[in-house]
Amino acid sequence: MTAMSEHRSLVPALYHPTIAVHDLEAARDWFRRVFGLRPLRWEETLDLDLLKPDYPTNYSFFAFISDIHWVFLCPPLHAQGSLTGQTRYKDVADGMIGLGWYTNDAEGVFAILADAGIRSHDQKGARITSERPPVSSFADDILTGFTEPEDTGIRYEFQQTGRRHWEKYSREADPRLRSDWTGPVLDPEDPLGLLLTSHHTIATSNPARALHLYVKLLGAETIAVGRNQELVADSTFIRLADTVVEFAVPNPDTELERAVAEGHDSYLGVSYLVESVDRVRSHLISAGLTPEDTETGAVRINPAEGFGAEWRFIEASPYPLEQRRLPGFD
């Protein structure tokens, strides 16, 4: 097996981005208006008979947008039941709070991270070690763990999902887990005309840390570098499995540079490739939002109207689209 195929089997696909929303009902209404899709309650996505009965099920909703599975999470509702006492989302504001990846070998991933000096914890906040694997709080055959933001810039999640959960989860929540998934297709009923998720954007003052994690440890590839005029930053685009992440290093003496100056990265949001930004703009206005046109031709939802996240819509990709890849599940 080659080094790349080893990495590919280790992290086969993005799991989900996580956005914090303190008003779940308002977020559900916003999601329906903006994306024209039905949000899924957590308990609709898995067979509850296979899960531990004390796991809280009312703190989030799921959504599959084009080719990405999302989680909208309410921090005040999170630490209940079997999660009582954990504090990783305590006092967080609305906005992007983490990026999760599927793995075929959770213990292997966390061993690699530990060997590199990266600390990780399970859902209850306990340190992951070789003697204490990251067994999830909702099923013994689901392994879930998180990196410490102090070591990786933001909190990254890695989850290995037992195969007995795939049938329902792939049917209700994430079709990428199905063997017949061939990628996103333009839906004529989609009010936004989404083609695919272009990339996620993370601002950082420590690009070496980000590239060490993704390229050296997880097997990602650098596919493009360029100037981000909107952020006044220099960007590196990496691809891991089916997902592209932009790491943007802001210019000195800018507001964004000050936001990441103390070492924490800032997960800003996501960009979608669309058929027409004019169509996007018209729909967002009809949905009651005030979309902004950027100097680079994108249409964006201001974070103030997007629960703290930046949602961008573009007609041209900032990297070669042939670099895209489908999930690599075995």
Contacts of 176 (CB under 8 A, 6+ apart): 13, 67, 69, 170, 242, 327, 329
Query: What is each CA distance from 221 to 70, 204, 284, 301, in whole angstroms?
Result: 23, 18, 34, 29
Residue 161 within a domain: yes
CB 219 within 8 A of CB 225: no
Q: State which of 108, 143, 177 marks the end of a domain.
A: 177
Q: Are residues 170 and 300 in the same domain?
A: no
3-state secondary structure of 269: strand
pLDDT of residue 45: 86
Assess whether 239 and 144 both reside in one domain.
no
On whether the CB atoms of residues 281 and 293 are closer than 8 A, the answer is: yes
* DSSP letters for 143-175: EEEEE-HHHHSS-EEEEEE-GGGHHHHHHHT-G
Query: So what's the pLDDT on residue 62?
Result: 94
Do residues 24 and 154 both lie within one domain? yes
Are residues 143 and 268 located together in one domain of the fold? no
d(CA 63, CA 11) in angstroms, rounded, equals 21
Answer yes or no: do 32 and 140 share one domain: yes
Residues 208 and 275 in one domain: yes
Under DSSP, the state recorded for 219 is -
- This prediction has a pTM of 0.95
Give the domain range for residue 209: 194-323
Backbone angles phi, psi at 146, to 5 degrees: -135, 145
**Phi and psi (nearest 5°) for 236?**
-120, 130
Mean pLDDT by 10 residues, the chain (330 residues): 52 97 97 95 83 83 95 90 84 96 97 98 94 91 96 98 93 93 94 98 98 97 97 98 98 96 96 98 98 97 97 97 89
Q: How many distinct structural domains can be found in the chain?
A: 2
